[in-house]
Amino acid sequence: MADSSQNNPKKELLYALAGVGIFLAIVLLIGISAFLRPAGEHMEVAVDEDAAEVVETEVTAAASAENTVAEPIVSVRDEPIEPIPVVAITEPKKVELGNMLWFDTRLSKSGGLSCNSCHDLAKGGTDNIPTSIGHGWAEGPINSPTVLNSRFFLAQFWDGRAKDLMEQAGGPIENPIEMASSHEHVVKVLNSIPEYKTRFNEAFDTDGDITIDQITSAIAIFEDTLVTPNSRFDQWLGGDDDAITAQELNGYKVFKESGCVVCHSGIALGGSSFQKFGVFEKYTTQNLSEGRYAVTGKEADKYVFKVPTLRNIELTYPYFHDGQVNSLAEAVNIMGKIQLNREYTEEETTDIVAFLKTLTGDQPVINYPTLPPSNENTPLPEPFEKTTS
């Protein structure tokens, strides 16, 4: 009888073949799992520096759109209206600074007014009153337009006197019936606060005093992120037939066929042109604003205003430059009459209003900031007018 400890050539061959088979199976399984692995999951591998920079850039961009969770929508329909794109935040430190400045009342003379006072981000970027309350309870001359989606406008303010958001941001600070301060005062205030100086130097890669250009730039860059994508109408543009109702779709058809899209089209449904308010009939108002005429001095520009956006229109009442119309249905009927020479039926008005409400998008997610404190070197606010007897 043979000794069991002796080598058996046949068994050794079988064991060797089995080992090779197991090894190949393991390799095959690894390959299959790598192929089936969901996008975004990866194995720890060595990459060169250029590839790492690309990945880092992509991750940063993907994670930087902090004020919305909406996915980008691409229109699949041939319509004069375009979906609002999702905006990636590429300069987060400047955006954070702008967010802080937006709520900082020290930008005003009284220390009681901020950008958010007239453009409340909890109210669609407006204050929902006919004209804003300014310094010393001054009555503003015109209705505060929404700041949401203002990055898509050809100019800022109703009369278009500011060419961009940065120029716009500096205006209210010095306006005597708005924040009633001065650029020089605001610069002194912010430079007296060490945390602000550190943040500005980091954001703008500088090592000096804060400037008014940096201040207005930070506010403008923050405003640039205030977009409202993913409205139900945008979802319909993207191919979702169930995103809007039959009534809302009919309202859009009436809106389009009656000529509203001549001025209210594109991404913002407005903000891209100046038009005379009161084409077929004069608009009756006590408001003294004369529109572009105040900027150009041309007689033809009297009562010519920047066309307002219709995005989030159900949130941004009261309507028109004088803020005298609180009802969206009434606003629709007035526009039909004086701009298009058309009397809408009650059903048409109801359907158009239903369509307009589909334009409300995801509101920006805003962090209410904790502001750095003033100190003994910070210029004091003047909340009350001092009178002399």
Where in the sequence numbering do the catalytic residues fall? 178
Q: Residue 214 burial by CB count (10 A; 0-12/13-18/19+): exposed, middle or buried?
A: buried
Q: What is the DSSP string of 70-89?
A: PPP----S--SB-PPPPPP-
Q: Is the dihedral of CA 134, 143, 268, 294 positive or negative?
A: negative
Asked if 258 contacts 309 with a C-beta cutoff of 8 angstroms, the reply is: no
Number of helices (H) and strands (E) in the chain: give both, helices first: 13, 2
Furthest CA-CA distance within the chain: 131
CA distances from 294 to 153, 273, 276, 288, 335 (A): 19, 17, 14, 11, 23
| Residues 6+ positions from 39 with CB-CB distance below 8 Å | none
- Between CA 335 and CA 343 the distance in angstroms is 10
What are the distances in angstroms from CA 363 to CA 67, 68, 69, 92, 275? 8, 8, 10, 19, 28
Give the Cα separation of 115 and 100 in Å (integer). Answer: 10
3-state secondary structure 132-146: CECHHHCECCCCCCC
SS3 label, residue 340: helix
- Mapped onto helix, strand or coil, the DSSP state of residue 156 is strand
**311 Cβ contact partners less than 8 Å away, ≥ 6 residues apart:** 84, 146, 148, 149, 228, 231, 268, 269, 270, 359, 360, 361
Which of 358, 316, 315, 353 shows the shortest CA–CA distance to 334?
A: 353
Check the CA dihedral 8-14-15-20 and report its sign: positive
SS3 189: helix
